[in-house]
Amino acid sequence: MGEASSLKCKRRILKSLLDRMKTRFNVAVAEVDKQDKWQYSTVGITCVTNDRSHAHQMLSAVVKYVEKTGTVEILHIQTELL
């Protein structure tokens, strides 16, 4: 969380980013871990589709968007398709 210096600041930055992701990509997103750490966050992103390649494309687009914003640094990505 590059710009964050407190939990309040982290929450403001994350809320803005997650809201933009929801609107732009029609995905479900939420902070799922590390809510009490101002330096880190774990975010879950979910999309529903009947095509695996479409799911990969959507999630890749979301990751590229997040990287492009420059507001956070992605340290690890884990993908699970059901």
For residue 54, give the amino acid letter: H
Q: In the prediction, which pLDDT does 35 show? A: 84
Q: Are 12 and 43 in contact (CB under 8 A)?
A: no
Give this prediction's pTM: 0.84
Q: Decide: 69 and 1 in contact? Cβ < 8 Å.
A: no
- Going along the chain from its start, the domains and CATH numbers come out as 7-69 (3.30.70.1120)
CA distance 13 to 71: 8
Is residue 55 within 8 A of residue 45, CB to CB? The reply is no
For the chain, which residues score pLDDT lower than 70? 1-2
Tell me the per-residue pLDDT of 29-51, one tens digit each, with 9 for 90 and over: 999 998 888 888 999 999 999 99
Where residue 70 falls (left for φ over 0; alpha for ψ -120 to 50; beta otherwise) is: left
